[in-house]
Structure 1
Amino acid sequence: MSVGQLPVVARGLIPDERFASCRGTVMDANPDMSQEMAGRIVEEALKFVAACSRNPGVGLAPSRIVDDGWHALLLHTAVYAELCEELGENFVHHFPGYDPTNYDPAILERTRQAITDLGYVPDVELWGDPSDETLAAVAAQCQHAPECTIRPMPKPEWP
């Protein structure tokens, strides 16, 4: 993949074995979770990181469920660094914070729209209220919104 070009399926942003490893991290943190659900979560996290990288300064945020997949990507530091490098100029930093009252549907809608604008289809079931654990209970204790939305920082230019 060259910078500027995204794969049709977000899962293609990282090699299959790395995707499987990140999916395994989600499953390790959430022992009762199915492999299929963990895969959906990691794929949404990939879409989220791509949207953030391509929309610096917009202020996007993951849902609590998607944030668990983002955490899995972050734990695979080499994979994550390569992903951000492939996506372009903006490294997507994580600023943890948790307050379930931070739930802001407008920020999540803006994030889903940014994902759609890249040509991906958001898995809307994974973008809901942080207290709704009927679909998937996750270990992530983060809820980003509104003061801790994600604003990617350009790569520093070294002399």
Structure 2
Amino acid sequence: MPAAASPMTDEQRKAVITAYLKAFDNGGTSHDGIPLIEFFAPDALFFFPKWGLAHGKSEINEMFGDLGKTVVSVEHHFSSFNWITTGTDVLAVEGTTHGEHRDGPWRVGVPEWGAGRWCGVFEVRDVLIQRAFIYMDPDYAGKDVARYPWL
């Protein structure tokens, strides 16, 4: 990744997050061969629902390995991202996805209550993700319906 002047602009931070998500969609490697974990600072924090909080690159790598055992493929819909920038190191993005989970496929809106909508809050500094907190329903295939009477 190219070095950025300090402090980074919102557009530079958005570019780091976009490159990370494209690498995620590409099975864990960017188009130019950068491994997914290299987008993160050594002491980064990463929260993912039903996994918990990963501290540092080693635990983040473990979390990606666990997630990779369940998700066959994913595609983020970059053209519909809704970015919330703050002019600081922190930014958020709302987005949608579709893909294949070991329990079955998902596509945002099918059904409307199902998986595919997500939000991430990121802190990006020195061209590295310092913090990533992902908020979404990890029941990709929509199997957890018995506990929700409105479904």
TM-score range, shorter-chain basis? under 0.3
Give the TM-score normalised by structure 2: 0.27
Query: Which of the two has higher C-alpha Rg?
Result: 2
Structure of higher RCO (CA pairs closer than 8 Å, 6+ residues apart): 1
